[in-house]
Amino acid sequence: MIEKNKIFEVYENIRTKLKEENFGVSPYKEIDYGLQFSVSTLSWSGVIRIYQNKKGIIKVDYSQLKGGRSLEIQRLIEGERMYTQTAIPTAGLTLPIIGTDESGKGDYFGPLVSAAVYVDEVSAKELAICGVADSKNLSDSRNLELSRKVAGITSGRFAVIEISPERYNSLYEQFKKENKSLNTLLAWGHAKAMEEVLAKVDCKAAIADQFADESVIISKLQEKGKSLKLIQMPKAEKNIAVAAASVMARARFLEKLEKLSNEFKIKLPKGASPMVIETGKKLVDMHGRESLRKVAKLHFKTTKQIIKS
């Protein structure tokens, strides 16, 4: 016999947890052996099923949650129980560690932001439970929300370095004259963020995504950073510390992009799409070509597409 009351009780429990995290939850629809319902954000939706198997055990099916959200939502719902069954994502590295990541590198509008986060055994567990993951797999609203949780869980042992578009353009032009690449600027941001974290807490190791030769970052580190064991690896966001840094960097980028949008009275989109080009043309019409220097990364080919006659 199907225990409908227990299935409905599980639905209500899940609904409450997801609502607290600002997910939309639809009314349920009954299916064979259980029920299903939709979970959504402004830019994403998926389906969760609750059913009773042949052994009479009530199960939650997350398989219809696409777009990298399944693990995040499962952690929200199952919390501590899931943590005991799933290893903390450390990419095989020992904790504590400082993770670094950047945001805005591929966005025409907005700043370049680097962040570093110190993570130990206790905070790693809490970060995993609350759903911290690579920011590219999270919605904007979720990134902003998780950034506040990361700040609390790590007790302020993080740093966020922001390079405004105007400053970015000046530095890029300077580096180009010195035959240096964008990697030099990225390395400086990572190193600066690491140094600020090391001013708050001692740590022996740090991990960053592999965007340049290790010596590029090391050369930018100051006295405290020189003693760090720096690990660079592809897809470093598999490590919980780097994932936390990616969330912090993306949240700051989103906040500053919105601030610039308000300042120039035009919605500045993310990325470097045709919509970005059209927005750039409108911006130039409203405020002149010089306004691009204050809101955009001018070395993108997007600039030529905007200002061509």
Find the CATH number of the domain harbouring 68: 3.30.310.240
> 146 φ, ψ to 5°?
-65, -30
Say whether both 106 and 250 belong to one domain: yes
**Residue 254 pLDDT > 70, yes or no?**
yes
216 pLDDT band, cuts 50/70/90, is: low
Q: What is the DSSP annotation of 27-78?
A: PPEEETTEEEEEEEETTEEEEEEEEE-TTS-EEEE-TT-TTTTHHHHHHHHH
* Integer angstrom CA distances of residue 58 from 7, 12, 94: 7, 14, 37
Q: Residue 260's pLDDT is what?
A: 97
Q: Residue 279's pLDDT is what?
A: 97
Say whether both 26 and 79 belong to one domain: yes
**Residue 218 pLDDT > 80, yes or no?**
no
Q: Which of 288, 21, 30, 289 is nearest to 129 (CA)?
A: 21
> Is residue 90, in this structure, part of any structural domain at all?
no
SS3 content of the chain, % helix, strand, coil (to 5): 50, 20, 30
**Helix residue ranges, H only, 178-223:** 182-198, 214-218
Say whether both 253 and 240 belong to one domain: yes
Residue that has been written with the tokens 């578009």 in this structure: 165
> What would the pLDDT profile of 75-126 be if each residue is shown by its tens digit?
778 765 555 554 577 878 889 999 999 999 999 999 999 999 999 988 998 8
CA angle 60, 64, 65 (to 5 degrees): 90
Cβ atoms of residues 91 and 163 within 8 Å: no
Angstrom distance (rounded) from CA 210 to CA 207: 9
Instruction: Classify residue 228 by burial, with Cβ atoms within 10 Å: 0-12, 13-18, 19+.
Output: buried
Residues recorded for the chain? 309
Domain interval for residue 138: 97-257
> Is residue 118, in this structure, part of any structural domain at all?
yes
Say whether both 270 and 301 belong to one domain: yes
Q: Residue 241's pLDDT is what?
A: 96
Highest mean pLDDT among 35-39, 42-46, 233-237: 35-39
* pTM of the model as a whole: 0.72
> What would the pLDDT profile of 146-162 be if each residue is shown by its tens digit?
999 999 999 999 999 99
Say whether both 195 and 239 belong to one domain: yes
Q: Residue 79's pLDDT is what?
A: 65
Say whether both 237 and 287 belong to one domain: no
Percent of the chain past pLDDT 70, that is, above it, reads 92
Say whether both 141 and 55 belong to one domain: no
Q: Are strands 29-31 and 34-41 parallel, antiparallel or unpaired?
A: antiparallel
Highest mean pLDDT among 61-70, 139-148, 160-169, 171-180: 160-169
> Is residue 197, in this structure, part of any structural domain at all?
yes
| CATH at 247 | 3.30.420.10
Instruction: Classify residue 281 by burial, with Cβ atoms within 10 Å: 0-12, 13-18, 19+.
Output: middle
Mean pLDDT to the nearest integer, 139-143: 90
Q: How many folded domains does the chain comprise?
A: 3
Residue that has been written with the tokens 């998926």 in this structure: 46
Say whether both 25 and 174 belong to one domain: no
**Residue 31 pLDDT > 70, yes or no?**
yes
Say whether both 130 and 188 belong to one domain: yes
> What would the pLDDT profile of 48-82 be if each residue is shown by its tens digit?
999 998 888 889 998 888 766 777 788 778 765 55
State both tokens at 109: 């509008």
Percent of the chain past pLDDT 90, that is, above it, reads 56
Say whether both 250 and 267 belong to one domain: no
Cβ atoms of residues 121 and 90 within 8 Å: no
Residue that has been written with the tokens 């990364």 in this structure: 297
| Mean pLDDT of the residues in the chain | 88
Mean pLDDT to the nearest integer, 20-41: 91
Say whether both 269 and 252 belong to one domain: no
Residue 119: which H helix or E strand, with range?
A: strand 112-119
Q: Residue 97's pLDDT is what?
A: 96
> Is residue 92, in this structure, part of any structural domain at all?
no
